A and B are shown apart, each in its own frame.
Chain A
């Protein structure tokens, strides 16, 4: 009797486990081919018209006096809503929450490049010495979304047409090193770096001069269901940035001014963003169809 009951309980538990696995499986997209790029697109949301996957593979961000090359890929993924009269579609967050991937980019010059030993107060000098002795000199810069995904907007027409703003992206720059603490940022949700990126030509305030992006080379895949644009170049050098904040933990009052002095002037005309990469887009209906065709 006891043995029989145990067998029944085990069978029930196994059935529950299998059902759970089955549920998990059906909740996950079964996309195929090039559609797999849109696995994190909220294509089941009826307001979403397009799925977007834009990977920045190289480029640079110049913030005042500091230039950070983009060496690790940064992905912007999610959905886009219907276009308005200005040909912009509202952005929808990626289903996994990673709308803009956080890729740590190396800041050339490291810690001494942004907190120079010579011009720092004694206490800061002492701490820098400690970090240098412990080989903790590397500084990373990570681009993060400063606002919600719905504050991003994209215009595929402008992207392809090489005129006007193609992507409005509110970001902040996270500077990372144990010495700088966890909250060293340039830009915030209330005062973001508002990038108005174009594949056309910019008209920045001086001392910056005009620079040009590029639409890249478009190609339709999956019988017209996906468009892939390679060698896309988005640029903006007319944006302004607030001063850095929260750097150095409890010594923020000492460290942050040093970093700001190193960054120099970051008002409009002193900063540049150049993002080079590949943009893929598909209609959300096409992605959903691909999903349903592959249960």
Chain B
């Protein structure tokens, strides 16, 4: 009799653990929504960074025009997507000796997915690869192709409809970007706006 009670207790405990795990994984997989309704099919989201900079220790590069195009969809209740375009224009550095002669995203599309960290929604972009060619007679990096690669997680703010990438959002999502085999900083605030079927609709993640 005692054995049966123990067995039931163990089974219940196991069930509780499974439920807890399921709850964790469910909360770790938010979906794309428009006007509070889950996105069905796909949508194209576009935007331009309000501000964005990339810092290799000792050299910060900024682009006036940092655009992006992201195709999003929900798969099994989880928000997924792909960065399909990332044109970068008018890029400069914080030192007069180094100019940016070429910059461009490589190996697009980059897969992305939504996740939750401590109840906050994040978008994680994987396979990031940006090539930068600096120029300048005195620039130490001239003629050296600098490749930024890795993955980056950004915090989604539903009220402002933005995704913010910085040191703390990359740390929270366990992501990192490297250039010159060194961990680099990327700061950027990207507004999100539907471009195809859900224009002018409120976009959110939950």
Contacts and interface: CB of A to CB of B under 8 A. Distances in A.
B140 A219 contact: no
Given A220-B56, A225-B97, A283 B139 contact: yes
Nearest to B184: A218
Interface string A49-87: 110000000000000000000000000000000110001
Given A218-B57, A219-B57, A220-B56, A225 B140 contact: yes
A162 B181 contact: yes
B138 A83 contact: no
Majority secondary structure of chain B interface residues (helix, strand, loop or mixed): loop
A218 B145 CA distance: 14
Interface residues of B, number: 26
A218 B56 contact: yes
Size category of the A interface is 20 to 34
Contacts of B142: 283
Contacts of A177: none
Interface stretch (A4-12, A16-24, A153-161, A248-256): A153-161
Contacts of B147: 160-161
A220 B137 contact: no
B143 to A, nearest CB: 6
A285 B135 CA distance: 13
Residue from A157, A224, A285 whose CB has the most chain B CB atoms within 10 Å? A224
23 contacts: A82-B143, A160-B144, A160-B179, A161-B147, A162-B181, A199-B181, A216-B182, A219-B56, A220-B56, A221-B58, A223-B97, A224-B136, A224-B139, A224-B140, A224-B141, A225-B140, A283-B136, A283-B137, A283-B138, A283-B139, A283-B142, A285-B137, A286-B139
Interface of A: 49-50, 82-83, 87, 156-157, 160-162, 199, 214-221, 223-227, 229, 281-283, 285-286, 289
